Chain A
Amino acid sequence: MGLHNIAIRSVFAFLFLLIITRLSGNRTPGQGTLFDFVLALILGDMIDDCLWAEVPVSQFVVGTGTLVVIHLLVEMGSMASPRFARIVGGGETILMRDGKLVRRTMRRERINEREAESMLRRAGVARENWGSIKSAWIEPNGQPGVILHEWAEEARAGEMEKDRQ
């Protein structure tokens, strides 16, 4: 296959993927669920088939376009129905309650204490401050979410005010 053929197919595939991903919304892979990541991998593999002419470009267009349309329909369904959202995307899972790790969640999600500590650290709470946590969650996209006790929120706000001054 000539180099110019590869270049033209590359440009076409790139532009098509750019257009359909832009049309499908502004969520980044980091904001999405695990399935958003899986879909990104699938699309990445499909572009390979197009570049090396393993499939006609028309099949690439229909294949990738159909997947993105279905994904968009699933997102719309999730927006309309919390129950559907939970089925397809999973829900948030409580990791910590009142400063204590929820062991059942850790077993289910196969997270050890070191990993839990790392997640909470990424959420801005070091181990020595676990007592300030009212609840901590694992969000559907795998990221940690933390809600502090009121007194801890007030203390944090006070520190920030002090830093500003």
Chain B
Amino acid sequence: MTAVLRLLVAMAAALLVVSLSIFVLGDRSVLASPPEAVSEGFIRELVGRRYERALPYLDEELRQRITADTLRAYRARAPWSAMELIDVRGEPGTIRGDTARASVVMIDARGRSMRTRLLLAWSKGVWEIARLDQPAAEEVQRSEQ
């Protein structure tokens, strides 16, 4: 049982280090998932039609209004919804205080790329998707593989 206690202490110590980094030193992107990783995760869940798993990426205010069906409709309206996506990559944007912007680039099987931008808010030590407007995306490049 001593070994179990030691393990629990080690876990607690690691969580303390993470908490100190985030809440005392103001880390927003090192030991906390950075905005681009959160955005990428959110879009990946939408692309994969895993709407229930996409909901936790939203901030509290959005979670109260948005359901899995809302996300389904959002995905259907997205410019990239018809693309046969093979890769989804988050790209760092900017962080200003408790607000961040990040981009997600989606690449399809034919080499076309589209970028969508997301607004995130910092809340309780994590970045969350703060706005879910009409999906908009810009074509990044048009190159055939």
Where chain B touches its partner, the secondary structure class is helix
* Identity of the chain A residue whose Cβ is nearest the Cβ of B92 in the assembled complex: A1
B11 and A1: CB pair below 8 A? no
> Is B137 among interface residues, defined by CB-CB distance under 8 A?
no
B19 CB to nearest chain A CB (Å): 8
Q: In the complex the two chains form, is B8's CB within 8 Å of A69's CB?
A: yes
- In the assembled complex, the CB of B42 is this many whole angstroms from the nearest CB of chain A, namely 12
Q: Which of A2, A57, A68 is B18 in contact with, Cβ under 8 Å? A: A57
Q: Are B7 and A5 in contact (CB under 8 A)?
A: no
Give 1 or 0 for each of A1-29: 1 = CB within 8 Å of chain B CB: 11011001100100010011001110000
B18 and A54 within 8 A (CB): no
Query: For chain B residues 8-37, which have a beta carbon within 8 Å of chain A?
Result: 8, 10-11, 14-15, 17-19, 29-34, 36-37
Given A16-B14, A52-B37, A58-B15; A1-B7 close (CB under 8 Å): no
Shortest distance from the beta carbon of B141 to any chain A beta carbon, whole Å: 22
Contact of A55 (CB < 8 Å), options: B6, B33, B90: B33
Q: Is A72 a contact of B7 with CB atoms below 8 Å?
A: yes
Contact count A vs B, C-beta below 8 Å:
78
Residues of B close to A52: CB separation below 8 A: 37
Q: Are B10 and A1 in contact (CB under 8 A)?
A: no
- Could you tell me which residues of chain A, from 41 to 97, have a CB within 8 Å of some CB in chain B? 52-58, 61-62, 65-66, 68-69, 72-73, 76
Complex: how many Å from CA A86 to CA B18? 39
Contacting residues, chain B, for A1 (C-beta < 8 A): 29, 34, 36-37, 90, 92
Q: Is B41 an interface residue (CB 8 A)?
A: yes
**Which chain A residues border B15 with CB–CB below 8 Å?**
58, 61-62
Any A CB within 8 A of the CB of B71: no
Chain A interface size, under 10 / 10 to 19 / 20 to 34 / 35 or more: 20 to 34
B93 to chain A, nearest CB (A): 12
For the complex, is B86 an interface residue (Cβ under 8 Å from A)?
no
Q: How far is the CB of A61 from chain B (nearest CB, A)?
A: 5
> What's the least CB distance linking B112 to chain A, in Å?
24
Interface residues of A (CB under 8 A from B): 1-2, 4-5, 8-9, 12, 16, 19-20, 23-25, 52-58, 61-62, 65-66, 68-69, 72-73, 76
